[in-house]
Amino acid sequence: MDLHRAGKLTFFSNLEGLAEADAFTTWLAPFRKSEWVVYATSPFGGPEAVLAYLSRYTHRVAISHVRLVSADAETVAFR
């Protein structure tokens, strides 16, 4: 919600309506009912290993070039 309020989320295609605060809040409501447990660790091989892993999927169905929205030195965004 903080990112949405700050205008830092971008929505594309049929999700463009989620840019409106009321629509986003309604869409998010069911997820708030779930208990989320996040388990995250640092990548064993560092950032290079993460990029190597993701690069294997850019030429396959999982993350095709069509789904790639943007990429720079710090972030990769895809649909």
53 lies in some domain: yes
Q: Which has the closest alpha carbon to 28: 7, 66, 2?
A: 2
Same domain, 51 and 74: yes
- 11 in helix, strand or coil? coil
Domain span at 67: 47-78
Residue 70, Ramachandran bin (φ over 0: left; ψ between -120 and 50: alpha; else beta): beta
What 3-state class would DSSP assign to 19?
helix
Q: Is residue 12 part of a domain?
A: yes
In a domain, residue 59? The reply is yes
The residues pairing with 76 across neighbouring beta strands, listed in sequence order, are: 71
Domain count, the chain: 2
> Could you read off the pLDDT of 17-75 as tens digits, one per residue?
999 999 999 999 998 898 888 888 877 788 888 888 887 776 666 667 777 888 888 88
